[in-house]
């Protein structure tokens, strides 16, 4: 489903096509390039060549079945090959409100469209060919790309190093992959701040670029990034849910007693709470909050994307999960932690709970206790996309007015 208020904006954007002189044959096909090419309404041999390039781009077999969309920031391209179609196929939202007709490429059986959507638009969609939908509905959400999310010329680059697999004693029998990023500005005589990321492998490829840019602009302090994957047992069974969803100090102790001391063998870190942050998504998001909640004197900054504040770790009583946090926040003395929450109203709704509702409950509980917090909502699904899109702004907010303890 797509939010009604974003639907009206979305429908204001026409199907885009191309401006002359069209797409050079040796230029890569992208959503924006396709948009420009379609404006020229190619015919004859130009149309045949474009149809063949679209087949190659989306995949010939996939094109007959209805392929996934191609996205480039806010521009989205769709294409389908529909031999014998009586009318132009279209992209149709699951609620039937959004309809995007596809343009026929000359006299071929290939149809395509490229549309620029509003920032933050999200919907479930499928191809419609002569009134029949191809395959199951698919999720889509699009966001603009902030400049600080991409490499900038002249910005010093830190170093990301994969560490030896860690065998834990606190989570006995598990081992895990993990990585450490050290910014270019780090100097041993000046201990650095630190930010830990759960599901670290999901963040290590883009977080260092954001850190590089913001540290260079002095919009966040010199900060070491620690990217830690959940533990796995011999045989491959994951310990992720136990480590992340359990409401206890065990994961906090794992970081404080095992991981950070290991980092400090080669990098000097600050140990005051104001200089330590932690981030995660989904179960990693509730784990980040739990670390701050259990050890507020050691971790003072928390970022949670699509946090699983739901009844996953239900325990023997079947009611010991993260859905308890809003009540605990309201009835516990305020703790000295700064909290950033993000979620979308198309997030999960299952037997464990409703993620959007649970994050709203967290937001209202934090407001009631007058925490230093921020909640950013949107229309997205259970994904990193929104959190990643706003990550530079999130870090600016998180580290604003940073003053290390004496």
Which pLDDT score, from 0 to 100, does residue 16 have? 37
Domain boundaries, the chain: 4-141, 147-399
Higher pLDDT, 1 or 292: 292
Q: What is the DSSP secondary-structure string of 378-394?
A: ES--SSSHHHHHTHHHH
Find the angle CA(382)-CA(388)-CA(390) to the nearest 5 degrees.
Answer: 110
* Cα–chain center distance at 27: 30
Question: pLDDT per residue over 247-298, tens digit each?
Answer: 999 999 999 999 999 999 999 999 999 999 999 999 999 999 999 999 999 9
Main-chain dihedrals φ then ψ at residue 185, nearest 5 degrees: -85, -5
Q: Quick check: 309 pLDDT over 80? A: yes
Q: What are the CB-based long-range contacts (under 8 Å, 24+) for 330-335?
A: 330/365, 330/368, 330/369, 334/369, 334/370, 334/371, 335/292, 335/293, 335/296
pLDDT in tens, 102-119: 999 999 999 999 999 999
pLDDT, tens only, 205-231: 999 999 999 999 999 999 999 999 999
Tens-digit pLDDT profile for residues 172-207: 999 999 999 999 999 999 999 999 999 999 999 999
Q: What are phi and psi of 315, to 5 degrees?
A: 70, -170
Residue that is written with structure tokens 């045989």 in the block? 235
- 377 Cβ contact list (under 8 Å, min separation 6): 342, 343, 344, 345, 356, 359, 360
Whole-model pTM?
A: 0.92
- Residue 111 to residue 38: CA distance in whole angstroms: 10
Q: Would you state the pLDDT for residue 28?
A: 86
- Strands (DSSP E) contained in 131-192 are 132-141, 159-162, 166-167, 174-176, 178-182
Look up the CATH architecture of domain 147-399: 3-Layer(aba) Sandwich (3.40)
Q: What's the DSSP call for residue 313?
A: S
Pick 4-141's CATH classification: 2.60.40, 3.30.420, 2.40.160, 1.10.287. 2.60.40
Could you tell me which residues are beta bridge partners of residue 354?
349
Output 20 or 307, whichever has higher pLDDT.
307
Q: Please state the separation of Cα 237 from the chain's center in Å.
A: 25
Higher-scoring residue by pLDDT: 171, 5: 171
Instruction: Show the tokens assigned to 231.
Output: 């533990």
Mean pLDDT across the chain: 93
Cα 12 from Cα 383, distance rounded (Å): 26
Q: Residue 19 pLDDT more than 80?
A: no
User: What secondary structure letter does DSSP report for 269?
Assistant: B
pLDDT above 70 covers what percent of the chain? 94
Say what percent of the chain tops pLDDT 90: 90
């Amino acid at each position: 489903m797509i939010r009604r208020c974003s639907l009206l904006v979305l429908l204001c954007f026409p199907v885009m096509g191309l401006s002359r002189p069209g797409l050079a044959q040796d230029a890569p096909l992208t959503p924006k390039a396709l948009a420009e090419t379609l404006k020229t309404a190619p015919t004859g041999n130009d149309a045949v060549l474009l149809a063949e390039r679209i087949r190659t781009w989306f995949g010939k077999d996939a094109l007959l079945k209805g392929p996934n969309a191609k996205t480039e920031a806010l521009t989205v391209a769709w294409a389908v090959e529909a031999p014998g179609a009586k009318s132009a196929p279209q992209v149709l939202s699951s609620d039937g409100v959004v309809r995007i007709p596809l343009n026929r490429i000359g006299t071929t059986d290939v149809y395509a469209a490229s549309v620029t959507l509003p920032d933050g638009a999200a919907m479930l969609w499928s191809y419609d060919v002569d009134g029949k939908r191809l395959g199951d509905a698919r999720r889509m959400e699009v966001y603009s790309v902030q400049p600080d999310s991409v490499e900038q010329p002249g910005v010093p680059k830190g170093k990301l190093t994969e560490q030896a697999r860690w065998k834990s004693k606190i989570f006995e029998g598990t081992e895990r992959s993990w990585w450490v990023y050290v910014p270019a500005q780090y100097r041993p005589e000046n201990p650095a701040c630190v930010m830990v990321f759960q599901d670290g492998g999901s963040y290590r490829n883009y977080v260092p670029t954001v850190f590089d840019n913001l540290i260079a602009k002095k919009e966040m302090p010199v900060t070491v990034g620690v990217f830690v994957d959940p533990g796995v047992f011999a045989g491959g069974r994951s310990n992720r849910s136990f480590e992340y969803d359990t409401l206890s100090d065990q994961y906090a102790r794992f970081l404080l007693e095992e991981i950070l001391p290991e980092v400090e063998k080669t990098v000097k870190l600050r140990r005051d709470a104001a200089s330590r942050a932690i981030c995660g998504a989904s179960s990693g998001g509730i784990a980040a909050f739990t670390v701050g909640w259990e050890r507020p004197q050691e971790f003072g900054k928390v970022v949670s994307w699509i946090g699983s504040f739901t009844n996953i770790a239900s325990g023997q009583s079947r009611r010991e999960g993260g859905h308890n946090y809003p009540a605990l926040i309201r009835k516990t003395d305020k703790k000295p932690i700064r909290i950033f929450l993000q979620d979308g109203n198309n997030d999960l709704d299952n037997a464990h709970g409703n993620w959007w509702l649970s994050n709203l409950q967290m937001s209202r509980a934090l407001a009631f206790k007058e925490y230093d917090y921020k909640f950013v909502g949107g229309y997205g699904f259970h994904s990193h996309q929104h959190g990643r899109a706003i990550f530079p702004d999130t870090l600016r907010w998180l580290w604003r007015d940073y003053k290390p303890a004496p």
